[in-house]
Amino acid sequence: MKQAFHVPQVSRGEAYAILGGAALMMTLAMGIRQNLGLFQAPASRDLGIAISDFALAISVQQIGWGVSQPFAGFLADKYGTRWVSLTGSVIYILGVLLTVIAHSTLPIVIGAGAMIGIALACTTSGICANIAARVVAPQRRTLAFGIVSAAGSVGTMVTAPIAAYFVDHDGWRTGLWALLIIAVAMLPAAFIGSRADKLPNSLVTDRHLTLADALGEAGTHSGYIVMAVAFFVCGLQLVFLTTHLPTYLAQCGMDASYSALVLMLIGGFNILSSWLFGWLGDRYPKRLLLGAIYLLRSAAIALFFSFPPTPLTVVLFGAAMGTLWLGVIPLVNGLVVQIFGLRFLSTLTGIAFLSHQAGSFLGASGGGYIYDLMGSYDLAWKIGVLVGLAAGTLQLLMNDRPTARVAAQGAAA
């Protein structure tokens, strides 16, 4: 157990420093991004734009994140994470700045949308998994993925009350200025985490594996395709909630503090669940755990939206969603390593994540369109529940067998 959380090439202290840098980078990137829904209603009122206009920016963010992720992942796999994560951190800071000074829809779409979307591809789970996989021993990788993913939840929990306080007392621009100052800490965090680049990211037998070879394996593996399709639905559900839940609660007459509360609860319970599903993923079939998350999450959404929200149900829903939120990340990363090995981890998870973000785009923009058209979210949440149940069932049945190449490596070991 002495070497369970680091590989022999680095000391235990250096391993924890590298993982801490990656975790902090993801904490800040995800924490700020997850709370943008708090600014939707006040910014829309102040600027005289529709809810769907602000939702468009979040939708563009999801697509920008998804389209950029395979490219950022490939660069990290091939050249290392340092310049990818540092460049992403700079773009993130500039994206928040452009949003702060916006006076119309376009700067918000560019700043909170395109720029933060590209930056997220360079600073979150796809890149952090690359860092963690190099530092942690193979038998604990899924747990390490879960611990790093939990960092994103810490960010949500910490930044939600900060953002809500300034929005309530000083306006949405002041709230974003506060988040901008916090975002600057991404730069040193990215630099420390990228020290993992000096460690190998492949076995000797994988060093000549090309990107074309890796894509060929992925494109013909039915389980990978099923996982990517289910990931689409995951993105649809989650971004619908982060973007539109504050508006839904306000429509139901609840104080804005409950929107911040539910985001804090999601963040808090995510810390435990990311670790839990990472731990479980090293011991039980990851496909079954993923399928269970999608099914239980869909059931929780159906129960919450079927009745008028109350303080109690908001608390229970936040806890349930937090338990079933980012736990998917270590499991997806772990499945990719299980099936394809480590060499193109960030690239293949990035391609799957593109599917996730296509769903996110639909969850944000589709939810806004339905709300503007019908004046409620009833149809939107019902669609989310139905596709979630279908995705969970498919995920339970996916083929999770390693490729012949990875199976041969396991036999040789």
Residue 376 has what DSSP assignment? S
pLDDT tens digit sequence for 11-23? 778 888 888 898 8
What does residue 25 show for φ and ψ, rounded to 5 degrees? -60, -45
pLDDT for the residue numbered 203: 62
Distance, in Å, from the CA atom of 87 to the CA atom of 190, rounded to the nearest integer, reads 9
The share of the chain scoring above pLDDT 70, in percent, equals 94
Q: What is the pLDDT of residues 363-393, one digit of tens each?
A: 888 888 888 888 888 899 999 999 999 999 9
Q: Which of 41-50, 86-95, 169-178, 295-304 has the lowest mean pLDDT?
A: 41-50
pLDDT digits (tens, 9 = 90+) for 185-224: 999 999 988 888 777 666 655 667 788 888 999 999 999 9
pLDDT, tens only, 77-128: 888 889 999 999 999 999 999 999 988 889 999 999 999 999 999 998 888 8
| pLDDT at residue 3, rounded to an integer | 42
Q: Which of 107-111, 166-170, 180-184, 202-206 has the lowest mean pLDDT?
A: 202-206
Structure token digits, residue 52: 């769907």
At residue 1, the pLDDT reads 36
Query: Pick the residue with more confidence: 203 or 76?
Result: 76
Supply the pLDDT for residue 4: 46
pLDDT recorded at residue 201: 62
| pLDDT beyond 90 at 257 | no
Report d(CA 115, CA 20) in Å as an integer. Answer: 25
Q: How far apart, in whole angstroms, are the C-alpha atoms of residue 411 and residue 274?
A: 30
Residues contacting 304, CB < 8 A, separation 6+: 313, 317
The CA distance from 357 to 335, in Å, is 19
Report pLDDT digits (tens) over 313-350.
999 999 999 899 878 989 998 999 899 988 888 899 99
Dihedral in degrees, nearest 10, Cα atoms 301, 392, 355, 260: 20
- How far, CA to CA in Å, does 124 sit from each of 66, 133, 205? 12, 14, 28
* Residue 5 reports pLDDT greater than 60: no
pTM above 0.85, yes or no: no
Token pair for 134: 């190099």
For residue 207, what pLDDT is reported? 66
Mean residue pLDDT of the chain comes to 86
pLDDT of amino acid 412: 54
Q: What is the mean pLDDT of residues 42-51?
A: 83
Contact 18, 10 (CB under 8 A): yes
Question: Mean of the pLDDT values across residues 52-65?
Answer: 83
Report the distance separating Cα 202 and Cα 204, nearest Å.
7
Instruction: For residue 36, give the DSSP letter.
Output: G
Helix (H, G, I), strand (E, B) or coil at 285: coil
CA gap 132, 404 in Å, rounded = 25
Which residues 6+ apart lie within 8 Å of 386 measured at CB? Answer: none
Paired tokens of 159:
């930044």
Domains of the chain with CATH codes:
12-412 (1.20.1250.20)
CA atoms within 13 A on the CB side of 301: 30
Instruction: Tell me what pLDDT residue 2 has.
Output: 40
Query: What's the chain's length in residues?
Result: 413
11: left (phi over 0), alpha (psi -120 to 50) or beta: beta
Judging by beta carbons within 10 Å of its beta carbon (0-12, 13-18, 19+), is residue 266 exposed, middle or buried?
buried
